[in-house]
Amino acid sequence: MNLWHNIRTTLEMIKWEHSIFALPFALTAAVLAASGWPRPMQLVWIVACMVFARSAGMAFNRYADATFDAANPRTASRAIPAGLLSRGFVGGFTIVAAVLFLLCAAQLNHLTLVLAPVALALILAYSFTKRFTRLSHIVLGLVLGTAPAAAWVAIRGTLNPRILVVTAIVLCWVAGFDILYSCQDADHDRLVGLKSIPALLGIPAAFWIARALHLLMLALCLWLIALFQLGLFAMIGIGLVALLLLYEHSIISPRDLRRMNAAFFTLNGVISIIFFLSIAADILHRH
């Protein structure tokens, strides 16, 4: 009973339901790679890899940052600093999730198995980046951006440079909203020596950088449409993504971060789903 309680608390801590952020982009790449709907078991293993990889990464992040979380009023209520979970249990959960990720990757093809440890190392290494680089936001974007490239490899067994545009799209999107989210901790990060764009340049400048990254994301989306010769459904979807990004930036400002959770969690989840559905509809309509 205690084990189940700890597992449930861990899943709440890592917000496993937020796997939805990167998963639709991975599914988009899978549909593009298959030029249609992939085989059911391919989808099952891709989804399993996504969930276990993110679970390992998030759990390790909470493990690695427990001391910093305890010192930050915004994060002091998280499970480890609050005493709801031990670091040992979270470390064990991380190992189990990592092993399951590698086992699932092995079910796809040889190249996914070879590259899976590299992806896992990148996922885990992210947790230390705020200690030594202001570019931690970019690293997080790259971590999530590997998902569509990995999904392409899972379907094709090779890597096509065109799919790296989706990686770049995810990188700019994630880095942009992570910079915005980090604005909440700018003062604390300066105090304890953690590095972030808001801590270095201030919140107003951070907002402008996030806006520039999201504009670049939209430009890359147009390039993706051209590269894969996508049509009306994809264009409508990218238009909706643009409107949602505009709304996201309109409900928060450097002087008012109160609606950050709505912008960060709710809207970004909707954006990723619309991105996938519109491109998948375009591909499936043509085939």
pLDDT tens-digit map of 97-147: 999 999 999 999 999 999 999 999 999 999 999 888 889 999 999 999 999
The Cα–Cα gap between 53 and 65 comes to: 18
The Cα–Cα gap between 243 and 263 comes to: 13
Closest C-alpha to 140, from 97, 196, 96: 196
The average pLDDT across 215-221 equals 97
In DSSP terms, 253 is beta-bridged to 256
Residue pair 123/140 in contact (Cβ under 8 Å)? The answer is no
- Kindly tell me if the per-residue pLDDT of 261 is higher than 80: no
Q: Quick one: CATH architecture of 2-286?
A: Orthogonal Bundle (1.10)
- Kindly tell me if the per-residue pLDDT of 213 is higher than 60: yes
* pTM, two decimal places: 0.92
Residue pair 196/182 in contact (Cβ under 8 Å)? The answer is yes
Residue pair 177/213 in contact (Cβ under 8 Å)? The answer is no
Q: Which helix (H) or strand (E) holds 70?
A: helix 66-71
The Cα–Cα gap between 59 and 91 comes to: 7
| Largest CA-CA distance found in the chain, in angstroms, rounded | 56
pLDDT of residue 33: 95
* Residue ranges per structural domain of the chain: 2-286
% pLDDT > 90, the chain: 64
How long a stretch of residues is the chain? 287
Using the Cα atoms of residue 174, residue 180, residue 186 and residue 190 in order, give the sign of their dihedral.
positive
